[in-house]
Chains A and B, each alone.
Chain A
Amino acid sequence: MLNPDTVRADFPLLGRTVRGGKPLVYLDSGATAQKPQQVIDAESAFYAQTNAAVHRGAHQIAEEATEAYESSRTVVAEFVGADVDEIVWTKNATEALNLVAYGFLNASLAAAAAPGSPAAEAVSPEARTRYALVPGDEIVVSEAEHHANLVPWQQLAAKTGATLRWIGVTAEGRLDPETYSVIGDRTRVLAITHASNVTGAITDVAALVSRARAVGAYVVLDACQTAAHMPVDLHALDVDFAAFSAHKMVGPTGVGALYGRRELLEDLPPFLTGGSMVEVVTMEATSFMPPPQRFEAGTQMVAQVVGFRAAVEYLRELGMEQVAAHEAAMTQLLLEGIAAVPGVRVLGPQDAADRLAVVAFEVDGVHPHDVGQVLDNAGVAVRVGHHCAQPIHRRLGVHASARASAGVYTTIADIEAFIEGLHEVVRFFATPETPTMQASTVESGKGRV
């Protein structure tokens, strides 16, 4: 079993204090995870010893930098159950998802152009066949998506005339199997989250993949919330594309990855163009490198890639089964603790099965911003707001929420401090009488005590 006290010692930031000397209780790993010294050192050592531009230059340092960059790809690919040439570095998961959506868009623009015209020839015939969308085609997402896996598809639909449809969410915050039937004959893309970043509910990927396969739709998986918290095997999940981000996986900011099945990346038109991703450039035309380089235009975030490798090596060392077991225990404590605070409601599944240690909640009569402020004053860091997922909040009948999310370094003491903080929130904002609303017609000021 993973010992979080030992793990914590690796994370220097967790040793600091906040708000006038209070020990930090960091329960915002769902937004971004803290970094172990091993990751900080790896990034620092790269700059101190190995920094050079990759895939260019014949000198020794360039060779070493390229080796560091490419061997990191191998390590990260293995970590998520992918082959090395199926991993594209991006600046984050948002860029990875946009990369796929823009691939579809570029193919659609070419397919809509006059046959034989430069616009039509701008992408390969295979790309047009695979990826071109036309009016009447459908893109399916879910109501639980993070904006990063919703807005790019909404935009793609608007630009191509395709229709955006969505899987609904139950009152408990899970994808509603009753609505899986929106996946139909015209579905070309199913873009779905592996786990909600609000309710923590884990998606039944197999059920959705089999429906998508039956209608020939591509499956794009947003694995941001899961990759750091449970074993993820993308080949076993049998999805076509997947996105994840280093900073949620105890790795650096500024680097994420796109997974794409090899033959699909092969046919996908480039998103960003420029240096490093080309073969022959004339004033008239350009031929592109094969994947993954085709999707890595310009100077890359090499130090961050190296840090990403250190992060997955760190997680691998802990063992993802152990990580998942530890976080399941934290989930249990969070749910039990919250249930014992009067007036606090969990937004999402109430039991710990098939969910992550990401627990959004609302405190009766207290705005999430105020909840977060009082917790912060106690040294407890949680997220407040809509967590980049407005539709699921709307579905659950709230405008915003507060959210506690655990990680590999979360301890029982962290959860206890958080629950104590929640009691303080309720005490602090307890109203002597029911809150009243008064219209402007009421005489100014007289309603107050």
Chain B
Amino acid sequence: MADAMEQLYQQVILDHARVRQGEGELADYGGESFQINPTCGDQVTLRVQLDPAGEKIQALGWTGQGCSISQASLSVMHELVIDQPVSRAEELGGYFRELMAARGKELEGTRLEALEDASAFTGVARYPVRIKCALLGWMALRDALVQARGRA
């Protein structure tokens, strides 16, 4: 069927939704965020631990439940930001939010490349209701990083 569905549910999204990176509870963490999407009840609790200098994301773990888009987005996000400087994670989060605001248009080259697997979410932005699903994890990350840095 359904080119539209294959465009939305790219293989990389389905794969990440099935085998999720970063799912699990983090025992030691500097920042935590709980986010809920009230329209569908999807939720995530995300914890982040920075390195001693407070500059790099040393560990990231999340638990929750949600649709394939939200779960895959969390998984891809984990891959992108783990072991990265906080500033890089925030930059990527900005690109991803930009992608979600683009209504299905691709971002220009370097930013799209920077998003790696997350660029597969381009088609999600055509479905306004699903944008929230894709952003759930990124909202949690931004919030948790604010806390983690506050404590560092």
Contact = CB atoms under 8 A, between A and B. Distances in A.
Contacts of A384: 40
Nearest to A437: B23
A438 B23 contact: yes
B9 A428 contact: yes
A366 B9 CA distance: 13
A368 B59 CA distance: 31
A23 to B, nearest CB: 16
A159 interface: no
Given A367-B68, A370-B68, A400-B40, A437 B20 contact: yes
A431 B41 contact: no
Contacts of A368: 40, 67
A429 B11 CA distance: 11
B93 interface: no
B65 A448 contact: no
A179 interface: no
Nearest to B79: A444
Closest 4 CB pairs of A and B: A439-B24, A369-B67, A367-B67, A447-B19
Interface string B1-37: 1101100110000111011111110100000000000
A340 B107 CA distance: 44
The binding surface of chain A is classed by DSSP as loop
Contacts of B133: 369
Contact of B21 (A20, A377, A445): A445
21 contacts: A368-B40, A369-B68, A369-B69, A369-B130, A373-B5, A373-B130, A378-B1, A385-B40, A385-B41, A400-B40, A428-B9, A435-B18, A437-B19, A437-B20, A439-B24, A440-B24, A440-B61, A441-B24, A444-B79, A445-B79, A447-B19
Majority secondary structure of chain B interface residues (helix, strand, loop or mixed): mixed
Contacts, number: 96
A437 B79 CA distance: 15
Contacts of A385: 39-41
B119 to A, nearest CB: 16
A21 to B, nearest CB: 12
Nearest to B71: A367
B102 interface: no
Given A377-B2, A431-B18, A436-B19, A399 B41 contact: yes
B40 A449 contact: no
A325 to B, nearest CB: 34
- Measured as residues with beta carbon below 8 angstroms from the partner, the interface class of chain B is 35 or more
A424 B9 CA distance: 14
A19 interface: yes
Given A385-B39, A390-B41, A429-B68, 20 more contacts: A367-B67, A369-B68, A377-B4, A378-B2, A393-B41, A400-B41, A429-B14, A436-B19, A438-B20, A438-B21, A440-B21, A440-B23, A440-B59, A440-B60, A440-B61, A441-B24, A444-B21, A444-B78, A445-B21, A449-B15
Nearest to B26: A440
Interface in A375-395: 377-378, 384-386, 390, 393
A440 B4 contact: no
Nearest to A365: B18
Contacts of A441: 24
Contacts of A448: 15-16, 18-19
Contacts of B18: 431, 435-436, 448
Contacts of B4: 19-20, 377
Contacts of B23: 437-440
A438 B79 CA distance: 13
A335 interface: no
